[in-house]
Amino acid sequence: MSSSLDAALPETAHAETTRFRPAIHFTAQDTWLNDPNGLVYYGGLYHLFFQTNPYGSVWGNMSWGHATSTDLLHWTEHPVAIACDDSEEIFSGSVVVDYGNTSGFGTADEPALVAIYTSAYKDASEHRGTQAQSLAYSTDAGMTWRKYHGNPVLTRNSAHFRDPKVFRYEGDSGACWIMVAVEAQHQKVVFYRSADLKSWEFLSDFGPANADAGEWECPDLFPLPVDGDPDNLRWVLIVNVNPGAVAGGSGGQYFVGQFDGVRFVPDAGSLAAPAGVRALGDSASAESALQECLWLDWGRDCYASVSFSNVPDGRRIIIGWMNNWDYANHLPTAPWRSSMTLARGVRLTAVDGSTRLVQQPVLAGLGSAGDAAVAPELLRTGAFELQDSELRLPDTVPGSAQVIEADILPESAESVAFHLSANADSSSATMLGYDAAAGRLVLDRRLSGDTAFHEKFSSAESAPLVLDGGALKLRIVVDHCSVEVFAQDGKLVLTDLVFPHEGQVRNRLVVGGGRAIIRSLTVTALN
């Protein structure tokens, strides 16, 4: 069942791509992957199921792969959990712990894990041409799965009804299961309710709104306190969109609002220009409307982000697929292709009268390479100044990821830029720079290395950045083939893939057009 695209890859290319394998991001050992699925914490393990092609390194034969981790950084891959067959492919979905044994698949003492996934029916099926929601369950803590004989449990006779995310909702009239899914081509999130996960009642729908030029996929809905205040709960509705995201192609947007068990109502502050304005078909106003949407990530490579269920202490953790459908099947690696983003802890915070998500990578649990990884220049205590000059940072060490953390006052500088994974003179490098005149953070991979494998790959992304008390605060995670940037304490995130040429290991900080004060700067190697 392997595809022709896969067969076309030269064997030598496979060997050369080992050096792109990330150190701290999840990749499947030797297959394709896309969306994270069924993220659940159970029995001391984080379970990451994922869209995989068990037979190749391009999209196809969709099944759920499986990996587990105790710390969201070190992953163990397990056999395929839910496999495609002659009648269906297993598209994206979620997993819940059925504590009350509402489904009858487990017992009151030993709850089943229940997967709610999309059956993408093949021609051999009586349901051919439709996508519907189905169940599978595990009574051994997620290691083996059985499909429910009564599948599908929810159909709309639609060809594009998919990506169910199910969660337990406690309302005034008791508890129930809520499903959020999409009618992808109608840019609608649809909401359903169930007592037993098997029979579902339609509640409402939401959309189109904000970024609505492409298909809506992989939604999620969860409550969070604003700035930790339990009396100020808001609901976050994640809606992934492809194409039509802010950096082009695939991306994740979110809305903040209220959910009353039936309907999601967005806050005014989370809506961009009204649909009427965008419908004018004027590309400049469409572009500026996109800038007003709330984006989980302003880069090219963060898609299908959804959150874990059942994480203790009310923590909310999301993972995205670090890729973009514009070129996903063509990344220059094989037989593995694609990785996940780092797990990101998310919170809500009030910003200028609106409510915004902030994200930080989950990095606890990683050993650092210690002081040897820190260049002498960085051991200066206290602030120092750079004026139209540069500072060499420690080289990237193959096999390790690097975390660069900086707190910089750009002062009079026109630009403050990190040249990452560069060659000796930075003629090849990934550039991450603050452009003072534009007030934007720019991630430019046009000269990052191999960009020729697809015409849409070469790109520069940017996002509006508001200095915090005059400071630019960056946390940059570089891991072989990716750069993830968490700016301004996680209020702004950009993620891009990069494929540096062999030997591009230099890193430097370059200040141009004036003077900047470096208040702190650390570089840590992680392996």
Instruction: Report yes or no: 31 and 333 within 8 Å, Cβ to Cβ.
Output: no
Residue from 162, 188, 234, 445 that binds ligand FRU (CB under 6 A)? 162
Residue from 33, 224, 304, 322 that binds ligand FRU (CB under 6 A)? 304
- What is the number of helices (H) and of strands (E) in the chain? 4, 30
Q: 326 or 444: whose CB is closer to ligand FRU? A: 326
Q: Compute the least distance from the CB of residue 162 to ligand FRU, in Å.
A: 5
Amino acid at 271: L
Bond prior to 208 in cis (omega within 30° of 0): yes
163 binds ligand FRU (CB under 6 A): yes
Residue from 63, 118, 194, 402 that binds ligand FRU (CB under 6 A)? 118
Q: 212 or 444: whose CB is closer to ligand FRU? A: 212
328 binds ligand FRU (CB under 6 A): no
Bond prior to 10 in cis (omega within 30° of 0): no
Q: Compute the least distance from the CB of residue 469 to ligand FRU, in Å.
A: 39
C-alpha span between 301 and 323 (Å, rounded): 4
C-alpha span between 527 and 292 (Å, rounded): 38
Q: 91 or 295: whose CB is closer to ligand FRU? A: 91
Strands of 198-353, DSSP E: 201-206, 215-226, 229-242, 251-259, 264-266, 303-307, 316-321, 344-351
Strands of 312-383, DSSP E: 316-321, 344-351, 354-361
Q: Compute the least distance from the CB of residue 38 to ligand FRU, in Å.
A: 12
Structure tokens at 217: 């996929």
62 binds ligand FRU (CB under 6 A): yes
Q: 215 or 484: whose CB is closer to ligand FRU? A: 215
Task: Tell me, yes or no, if 35 is annotated catalytic.
Answer: yes
Residue from 92, 307, 339, 495 that binds ligand FRU (CB under 6 A)? 92
Q: Compute the least distance from the CB of residue 187 to ligand FRU, in Å.
A: 13
Residue from 84, 113, 179, 218 that binds ligand FRU (CB under 6 A)? 218
Phi-psi region of 74 (alpha: psi -120 to 50; beta: other; left: phi over 0): beta
Q: How many residues bind ligand FRU (CB under 6 A)?
A: 12
C-alpha span between 355 and 443 (Å, rounded): 25
Report residue 392: phi and psi, to 5°: -80, 135
Q: 95 or 509: whose CB is closer to ligand FRU? A: 95
Catalytic residue among 35, 326, 479, 496: 35
Q: Compute the least distance from the CB of residue 5 to ligand FRU, in Å.
A: 15
Q: Compute the least distance from the CB of residue 54 to ligand FRU, in Å.
A: 13
Bond prior to 312 in cis (omega within 30° of 0): no
Bond prior to 376 in cis (omega within 30° of 0): no
Q: Which residues contact 456 (CB under 8 A, 6 or more apart)?
A: 248, 249, 326, 327
Give the DSSP letter string of 39-64.
EEEETTEEEEEEEEETT-SSS-S-EE
Q: Compute the least distance from the CB of residue 123 to ligand FRU, in Å.
A: 17
Q: 187 or 396: whose CB is closer to ligand FRU? A: 187
Contact mark string toward ligand FRU, 24..53, x via CB under 6 A: ----------xx---------------x--
Residue from 6, 183, 217, 326 that binds ligand FRU (CB under 6 A)? 217
Q: 211 or 304: whose CB is closer to ligand FRU? A: 304
Site for ligand FRU, rule CB under 6 A: 34-35, 51, 62, 91-92, 118, 162-163, 217-218, 304
Q: Looking at the annotation, which residues are catalytic?
A: 35
